[in-house]
Amino acid sequence: MSVQKTALVTGIAGQDGSYLAELLCARGYRVVGTSHARAGTVEVGSARVDVLQLDLADTAAVAHAVASVSPDEIYNLAARASSAQLFDEPLETAEINGLATVRFLEAIRRHAPQARFCQAASSEIFAGTDTTPQDESTAIVPVNSYGAAKAYGLHMVRMYRSRHGVHASTAILFNHESPRRGEHYVTRKISRAAAMIAAGRATEVELGNLDSRRDWTYAGDAVDAMWRMLQHPVGDDYVVATGKTHSVRDFCKYAFEHVGLDYARHVRVNPAFSGRAESVELRGNPAKLVAQLGWSPSIAFPEMVRMMVDADLKLLEHTG
pLDDT at position 85? 54
- Helix ranges (H only) for the chain are 15-26, 59-69, 90-93, 100-111, 145-164, 186-198, 219-231, 248-258, 287-293, 301-319
3-class DSSP assignment, residue 315: helix
Mean pLDDT per 10-residue section of the chain, whose length is 320 residues: 90 94 96 90 86 96 98 94 62 93 98 98 96 98 94 98 98 98 94 98 96 97 98 98 98 98 97 78 97 97 98 90
Q: Hey, do 6-176+216-240 and 179-214+244-276+299-319 end up sharing a CATH topology, with the first three levels equal?
A: no
Query: 224: Cβ–Cβ under 8 A, 6 or more apart, which residues?
Result: 23, 295, 298
pLDDT at position 278? 76
Residues found in the chain: 320
Name which of 144, 112, 152, 170 is nearest 275 in CA terms: 144
Q: What is the topology classification, in CATH, of domain 6-176+216-240?
A: Rossmann fold (3.40.50)
Instruction: Name the residues annotated as catalytic.
Output: 122, 124, 146
DSSP 284: B
Q: Is the CATH number 3.90.25.10 carried by domain 179-214+244-276+299-319?
A: yes
Convert the pLDDT of each residue in 62-86 to its tens digit.
999 999 999 999 999 998 765 555 5
Structural domain boundaries in the chain = 6-176+216-240, 179-214+244-276+299-319
DSSP 136: T
Name which of 77, 73, 79 is nearest 30 in CA terms: 73
Burial of 36 (0-12, 13-18, 19+ CB in 10 A): middle
Distance between the two ends of the chain, CA-based, in angstroms? 49
Kindly report the pTM of this predicted structure.
0.95
3-class DSSP assignment, residue 79: coil
